[in-house]
Structure 1
Amino acid sequence: MTRRNLIVLLMCSVSYPAIAQQAVMLDEITVMAQKRPEQAADVPISIDVWSGQRLEESRTLRRDQALSATPNAQMGTVSGSLYTNFTAIRGVGSALIDTDPAVGLYVDGVAAGASQTYGGNLLDIDRVEILRGPQGTLYGRNNLAGSVNVISNLPDPSRTYGEFGVDYGRFNTARSFGFFNTPIGNSGWAVRGALSGSRNDGYTPDDATGGKVNSLQDISGRFSVMGPVSDTVDFLGSVEHERQRTVDGAFMSEADFQAGRRSVDIVNPFNGTLSTTTARAQFTARLDNGDRLVSLTGFRTNETDFKGNSFPQGYFAATNAFFRSAGVAGFQYRADNPFNGSYDQISQEFRYESDHNERFKWVGGLYAERSHGSRQYGLTNSFDSGGFLSGSGVTLQSKGVTDTTALAAFADGTFALTERWKIFGGARLGYDHKEFSYDFRSDNASFNTIFAPVVAGFAPAYLASLSAPYVTPRFGTQFEVSDKLNVYASISRGYKSGGFNAGFVARGDEKAFDAETLWSYEAGWKGRFLADRLSLNGSVFFMDWRNQQVQTFNVATQSTPIQNAPKSRSYGAELEARLKIDDHWSVRAGLGYVDATYVDFKNALATGASTTIDVGGNQQQYVSKFSGTVGIGYAWNVGYDDLQGSAEVAYQFRSGFYFDVANTLRQPAYGLLNARIGVENERYAAHLWGLNLADQRYRVSATDFGLGSLVAVGTPLTVGATFKIKFSQQNDAHAVVK
Structure 2
Amino acid sequence: MIVRGSLALILASAASPALAQQVAAPAGAVTLDELSVTAQHRPERAGDVPISLGLRTAADLDRHEIRRADQAINEIPNAQMGTLSGSLYTNFTAIRGIGSGLIDTDPAVGFYKDGVSVGNSQGYSGGLLDVDRVEVLRGPQGTLYGRNNLAGAINVISSLPDPARVFGDVGIEYGRFNQLRGFGIVNMPIGNSGWAVRGALSGSRNDGYTPNLATHRDLNSLEDLHGRFSVKGDITDTLEFIGSVESQSQRSYDAAFQRDQDFRAGRARVDILDPFHGTLDTTTARTQFTLKRENGDRIVSITGFQDRNNEYRGNTFPRGYFAPLEAQYQAFGIAGFRYRTDNPFRGSYQQFSQEYRYISDADDRFKWLAGAYVEHSKGSSTYDLKSTFSPGGFLTGDSVSLASKADIATTAVAGFVDGSYALTERLKLFAGARVGHDWKDIDYRFSVDNPSFAALGFTAAFASSFRNTLSEAYVTPRAGLQFALNPEVNIYASVSRGYKSGGFNSAFVSVGDDRPYKSESLMTYEAGWKAQLLDNRLSIDGAVFFNDWSDQQVQVNNIATQSTPIQNALSSQSYGAEAEGRFRIDEHWSVRAGVGYVDATYEDFKNAIATGRSVAIDASGNQQQYVSKYNGSIGGSYAWKTGYDNLTGTIDVWYNAKSGFYFDAENTLRQPGYGLLNARISFENERYALSLFGTNLTDTRYRSIALDVGFGPLVAIAPPLMVGGSVRLKF
How far residue 78 of structure 1 moved from its aligned partner, in angstroms, is 6.2
Counterpart of 2:383 in structure 1 is: 377
How far residue 522 of structure 1 moved from its aligned partner, in angstroms, is 0.1
Q: Deviations over 1:580-628 (max 9, x none)?
A: 0000000000000000110000110111111111000101110000001
Counterpart of 1:462 in structure 2 is: 466
Distance in 2 (CA, whole Å) between partners of 1:474 and 1:386 is: 67
C-alpha contact 1:621 1:657 (8 A) present in aligned 2: yes
How far residue 445 of structure 1 moved from its aligned partner, in angstroms, is 1.1
Report 1:74-93 matches (<5 A): 74-77=80-83, 82-93=88-99
How far residue 77 of structure 1 moved from its aligned partner, in angstroms, is 2.6
Counterpart of 1:444 in structure 2 is: 450
The reply on whether 1:498 has 2:505 as its aligned counterpart is: no
Q: Which amino acid letter does the alignment assign opposite residue 626 of structure 2?
A: Y
Report % sequence identity: 61
C-alpha contact 1:695 1:717 (8 A) present in aligned 2: yes
C-alpha contact 1:95 1:621 (8 A) present in aligned 2: no
- Greater mean alpha carbon deviation, residues 132-141 or residues 526-535: 132-141
Q: Secondary structure at the residue paired with 1:205?
A: coil
Q: Deviations over 1:226-252 (max 9, x none)?
A: 000011101011111111111354211
Q: Secondary structure at the residue paired with 2:279?
A: strand
**TM-score between the two structures when normalised by the length of structure 1:** 0.94
Counterpart of 1:223 in structure 2 is: 229
Q: Secondary structure at the residue paired with 2:166?
A: strand
Q: Which amino acid letter does the alignment assign opposite residue 695 of structure 1?
A: D
Report 1:722-737 matches (<5 A): 722-727=726-731
**In structure 1, which of residues 401, 410, 415 is the aligned counterpart of residue 407 of structure 2?**
401
Q: Secondary structure at the residue paired with 1:64?
A: helix
Q: Secondary structure at the residue paired with 1:56?
A: helix
The reply on whether 1:616 has 2:620 as its aligned counterpart is: yes
The reply on whether 1:634 has 2:638 as its aligned counterpart is: yes
**In structure 1, which of residues 175, 181, 185 is the aligned counterpart of residue 181 of structure 2?**
175
Distance in 1 (CA, whole Å) between partners of 2:476 and 2:89 is: 30
C-alpha contact 2:84 2:92 (8 A) present in aligned 1: no
How far residue 141 of structure 1 moved from its aligned partner, in angstroms, is 4.9
How far residue 325 of structure 1 moved from its aligned partner, in angstroms, is 4.0
Counterpart of 1:427 in structure 2 is: 433
Counterpart of 2:156 in structure 1 is: 150
Q: Deviations over 1:27-63 (max 9, x none)?
A: 1111111111111000001111000000000011100
C-alpha contact 2:273 2:315 (8 A) present in aligned 1: no
**In structure 2, which of residues 413, 418, 421 is the aligned counterpart of residue 412 of structure 1?**
418
C-alpha contact 1:535 1:579 (8 A) present in aligned 2: yes
- Greater mean alpha carbon deviation, residues 26-35 or residues 586-595: 26-35
Report 1:250-329 matches (<5 A): 250-326=256-332, 328=334
Distance in 1 (CA, whole Å) between partners of 2:102 and 2:462 is: 20
Distance in 1 (CA, whole Å) between partners of 2:200 and 2:45 is: 28
Counterpart of 1:64 in structure 2 is: 70
Q: Which amino acid letter does the alignment assign opposite residue 634 of structure 2?
A: V
C-alpha contact 2:706 2:714 (8 A) present in aligned 1: yes
How far residue 206 of structure 1 moved from its aligned partner, in angstroms, is 0.9
Q: Note closer, same or farther for the CA distance 1:388–1:258 as it changes in structure 2 (3 Å cut).
A: farther
How far residue 168 of structure 1 moved from its aligned partner, in angstroms, is 0.2
Q: Secondary structure at the residue paired with 2:125?
A: coil
Distance in 2 (CA, whole Å) between partners of 1:591 and 1:463 is: 46
Q: Note closer, same or farther for the CA distance 1:347–1:95 as it changes in structure 2 (3 Å cut).
A: closer
Distance in 2 (CA, whole Å) between partners of 1:220 and 1:227 is: 24
Please provide the CA RMSD for this pair. Answer: 1.6
Counterpart of 1:703 in structure 2 is: 707
**TM-score between the two structures when normalised by the length of structure 2:** 0.95
Distance in 1 (CA, whole Å) between partners of 2:543 and 2:134 is: 20
Q: Which amino acid letter does the alignment assign opposite residue 345 of structure 2?
A: F
**In structure 1, which of residues 597, 600, 604 is the aligned counterpart of residue 601 of structure 2?**
597
Q: Which amino acid letter does the alignment assign opposite residue 721 of structure 2?
A: L
Q: Note closer, same or farther for the CA distance 1:662–1:494 as it changes in structure 2 (3 Å cut).
A: same
Aligned length: 706
How far residue 140 of structure 1 moved from its aligned partner, in angstroms, is 5.0
The reply on whether 1:508 has 2:515 as its aligned counterpart is: no
Q: Secondary structure at the residue paired with 1:573?
A: strand
How far residue 558 of structure 1 moved from its aligned partner, in angstroms, is 3.1
Report 1:471-490 matches (<5 A): 471-490=475-494
Q: Secondary structure at the residue paired with 1:66?
A: helix
Q: Which amino acid letter does the alignment assign opposite residue 578 of structure 1?
A: R
- Greater mean alpha carbon deviation, residues 553-562 or residues 64-73: 553-562
Counterpart of 1:102 in structure 2 is: 108
C-alpha contact 1:491 1:520 (8 A) present in aligned 2: yes
- Greater mean alpha carbon deviation, residues 296-305 or residues 160-169: 296-305
How far residue 317 of structure 1 moved from its aligned partner, in angstroms, is 1.2
Q: Which amino acid letter does the alignment assign opposite residue 294 of structure 2?
A: D
Distance in 2 (CA, whole Å) between partners of 1:95 and 1:161 is: 40
Counterpart of 1:606 in structure 2 is: 610
Q: Secondary structure at the residue paired with 2:455?
A: helix
Distance in 2 (CA, whole Å) between partners of 1:332 and 1:467 is: 43
Q: Note closer, same or farther for the CA distance 1:333–1:91 as it changes in structure 2 (3 Å cut).
A: closer
Counterpart of 2:42 in structure 1 is: 36
Q: Which amino acid letter does the alignment assign opposite residue 94 of structure 1?
A: S
C-alpha contact 1:293 1:351 (8 A) present in aligned 2: yes
Distance in 2 (CA, whole Å) between partners of 1:394 and 1:695 is: 43
The reply on whether 1:342 has 2:313 as its aligned counterpart is: no
How far residue 457 of structure 1 moved from its aligned partner, in angstroms, is 2.4
Q: Note closer, same or farther for the CA distance 1:437–1:328 as it changes in structure 2 (3 Å cut).
A: closer
C-alpha contact 2:576 2:598 (8 A) present in aligned 1: yes
Counterpart of 1:652 in structure 2 is: 656
Counterpart of 1:362 in structure 2 is: 368
The reply on whether 1:137 has 2:138 as its aligned counterpart is: no
Distance in 2 (CA, whole Å) between partners of 1:221 and 1:557 is: 40
The reply on whether 1:191 has 2:208 as its aligned counterpart is: no
Q: Secondary structure at the residue paired with 1:65?
A: helix
Q: Note closer, same or farther for the CA distance 1:520–1:344 as it changes in structure 2 (3 Å cut).
A: same
Counterpart of 2:696 in structure 1 is: 692
How far residue 348 of structure 1 moved from its aligned partner, in angstroms, is 0.7
Q: Secondary structure at the residue paired with 1:472?
A: strand
Q: Secondary structure at the residue paired with 2:523?
A: strand
Distance in 1 (CA, whole Å) between partners of 2:435 and 2:183 is: 43
Counterpart of 1:518 in structure 2 is: 522
How far residue 114 of structure 1 moved from its aligned partner, in angstroms, is 0.6
Q: Deviations over 1:121-173 (max 9, x none)?
A: 00000000011111111125541111000000000011000110000000000
Counterpart of 1:15 in structure 2 is: none
Distance in 2 (CA, whole Å) between partners of 1:605 and 1:143 is: 27
C-alpha contact 2:396 2:452 (8 A) present in aligned 1: no
Distance in 1 (CA, whole Å) between partners of 2:729 and 2:570 is: 56
Counterpart of 2:167 in structure 1 is: 161
| Gap runs ≥5 in structure 1 | 1-20, 728-738
How far residue 553 of structure 1 moved from its aligned partner, in angstroms, is 2.0
C-alpha contact 1:271 1:308 (8 A) present in aligned 2: yes
Distance in 2 (CA, whole Å) between partners of 1:455 and 1:203 is: 38
C-alpha contact 2:340 2:385 (8 A) present in aligned 1: no
Q: Secondary structure at the residue paired with 2:632?
A: strand
C-alpha contact 1:215 1:249 (8 A) present in aligned 2: no
Q: Which amino acid letter does the alignment assign opposite residue 406 of structure 2?
A: G
Counterpart of 1:733 in structure 2 is: none
Counterpart of 1:540 in structure 2 is: 544
Q: Which amino acid letter does the alignment assign opposite residue 664 of structure 2?
A: D
The reply on whether 1:116 has 2:138 as its aligned counterpart is: no
Q: Note closer, same or farther for the CA distance 1:672–1:81 as it changes in structure 2 (3 Å cut).
A: farther
Counterpart of 1:574 in structure 2 is: 578
Distance in 1 (CA, whole Å) between partners of 2:57 and 2:147 is: 27
Q: Secondary structure at the residue paired with 1:116?
A: helix
How far residue 711 of structure 1 moved from its aligned partner, in angstroms, is 1.1
Counterpart of 1:14 in structure 2 is: none
C-alpha contact 1:333 1:384 (8 A) present in aligned 2: no
